[in-house]
Structure 1
């Protein structure tokens, strides 16, 4: 059997790692009919700090095929990925294509595989927010509709698929593979020192930081809905500077997109010069896991980090998630399941 698995962006790497390791164990333990596996990296995250370092830290073999798609609009990324991946399918002739999560590569490669009559398996199937303004929601819906095998992380996802009419034989509950990765790396992360992580990843190497960090919160923010409009981003920054940083230190491993928009909107100087914010380069998986473990709270629009917080017990402030205020916009920290009984922040 020949399987091609696809990753495109950083959240995919934590999800594909257990799958890659499971294939390695299967091929090692069984003498008959080994699985031929190819890993394709579309290159949606092409910066070494956003991509290569994660392969190394998670023990994922270097990708067999790089598509080098890079950045662009949603249409550009999807279109360019489909054209490049079609060539891979025609040349390699796989039996299955495995996609993970809900990034643009997930959508593009599932569509391309089905057009080439190749079976598709979706890892982390069935997640729904009910918010069609989220590009990820569209990616999830299309991928799940096309997939021949849907591997779900929880019973809520199974229920979502059944409600949409997916045949029972296509659904398999396998649990949350991101938590498999977390548990496999927890001990290594626990041994790390927060102070070392901060000093080794300072965005400004001249920035003075205390020898002991003490109490702190962590911020990550990257979604276009949060950073691409000044009328959304500016109130978020005001809330962070005026309220969060007045109480404790805020560690911010800043996403390239967020930095670019801060500079575009004239907000960079007040953020970078504020004594209560420590800006970091994007950190690797173990470093972020350690920061999460020791933080007073996690302020994030990352679905994966929210899931990890639920396991680690790190508080996720969600007071205004349903109400919203001028300084605390409703969608600043968006849940996978925003509000209600399915919200992971409440379960």
Structure 2
């Protein structure tokens, strides 16, 4: 059997790493072909991930990036289709909710190749998020849907997707945290050892809205000046906007994007996470760190119910007040499986 795996962004590299390891360990009868769309093109955001996660170099790199959502998705569909026609796989695997996810799904579905979507069923119910469009379309065009939570199952059922397509397996990111957490690496040039705030800002809804971006930066600056140091690995697109608009980030510990193992070290040693990232919300929970999410909604509603994550939007005062009163509940529930999602997934092929 031959499987083509489509990846393009950092979280997908991590998820694919644990699933690929499970294929290598448990399914010697399967050949996996990895296609990197090039969506994350910066070396610090792509190449280093393949190296440190011990993922084989992609069989194909389409080098598609820097366009609009429509441009990138269209070019990816064209590039992926060529690969699929050449490789003739039995299955295509896609991850998460990026343009690469949707492009891989459309290309495969048009060629009548079964699609497996890992991390299916998530919903923010905000159609202004490109990720939400990608999730919904991917789930409805896929053949098999691997979900991380019962809530994801219910979302799919509510949209008329039958249970025969759905497989509740848990979250492969939890698998990754358990395995790679032991390999976490300290950032050599960062002169902070613990009890700092870890923050990321990259969502288009925040970075493309200057008022929101400035408000988040002001909140982080206030916290840095009055409470605790803030470490901010800065996404290249966010960095370009901040530079163009001359936004003052001098009070923050701004660093370049880091590899996954370095991010795990930051998560292990920080006191609190302030982010607009979907994945980082979960990883904060995995490391039992309270999280403030600078959005008005989240796909990971279980974290809100459990009280480990708090939606704070982008208002400076709301963020600061929430930080000053944040706690992490004792003995939180195990929300995303037991760390064997990847091993469960490979049994279905």
Per the normalisation by structure 1, the TM-score is 0.85
Structure 2 distance, partners of 1:170, 1:344, is: 31
Structure 1 distance, partners of 2:101, 2:273, is: 27
Structure 1 distance, partners of 2:289, 2:67, is: 34
Q: Choose from 63, 66, 69 the match for 2:61.
A: 66
Structure 1 segment 292-311 matched on structure 2, within 5 A? 292-311=267-286
1:54 is aligned to 2:17: no
Task: Check the 8 A contact 2:148/2:168 in 1, yes or no.
Answer: yes
Name the SS for the 2:231 alignment partner. strand
Structure 1 segment 4-19 matched on structure 2, within 5 A? 4-19=4-19
1:238 is aligned to 2:234: no
Q: Deviations over 1:148-206 (max 9, x none)?
A: 000011111111111111111111111100110110012222xx44xxx150xx6xxxx
Structure 2 distance, partners of 1:230, 1:37, is: 43
User: What's the counterpart of residue 101 of structure 2?
Assistant: 106
1:164 is aligned to 2:128: no
Structure 1 segment 1-347 matched on structure 2, within 5 A? 1-28=1-28, 34-189=29-184, 192-193=185-186, 197=187, 199=189, 209=191, 213-267=193-247, 270-271=248-249, 273-274=250-251, 277-317=252-292, 331=296, 335-337=298-300, 341=305, 345=309
Task: Check the 8 A contact 1:57/1:286 in 2, yes or no.
Answer: yes
Post-superposition shift, 1:341?
A: 4.2
Q: Deviations over 1:114-139 (max 9, x none)?
A: 11111100000001111111110000
Structure 1 distance, partners of 2:43, 2:267, is: 22
Structure 2 distance, partners of 1:166, 1:104, is: 22
Task: Check the 8 A contact 1:216/1:249 in 2, yes or no.
Answer: yes
Structure 2 distance, partners of 1:127, 1:304, is: 12
- CA separation of 1:342/1:139 partners in 2, compared to 1, >3 Å: closer, same or farther? farther
Work out the number of aligned pairs and report it.
310
Name the SS for the 1:88 alignment partner. helix
- Specify every segment of 5 or more residues in structure 2 that has no aligned partner in the other structure, as ranges: 311-332, 334-349
Structure 2 distance, partners of 1:68, 1:222, is: 21
Task: Check the 8 A contact 2:119/2:171 in 1, yes or no.
Answer: yes
Post-superposition shift, 1:244?
A: 4.1
RMSD over aligned Cα, in angstroms? 1.9
- Specify every segment of 5 or more residues in structure 1 that has no aligned partner in the other structure, as ranges: 29-33, 203-208, 322-329
Structure 2 distance, partners of 1:213, 1:36, is: 43
Post-superposition shift, 1:246?
A: 2.1
Name the SS for the 2:182 alignment partner. helix
Q: Deviations over 1:293-341 (max 9, x none)?
A: 11110111111111111111011135xx6xxxxxxxx54xx53246964
The runs of 4+ residues in structure 1 deviating greater than 3 Å are 337-344
Name the SS for the 2:112 alignment partner. coil
Structure 2 distance, partners of 1:241, 1:335, is: 24
Which one has more relative contact order, counting CA pairs under 8 Å at least 6 apart? 2
Task: Check the 8 A contact 1:336/1:343 in 2, yes or no.
Answer: no
Task: Check the 8 A contact 2:275/2:292 in 1, yes or no.
Answer: no
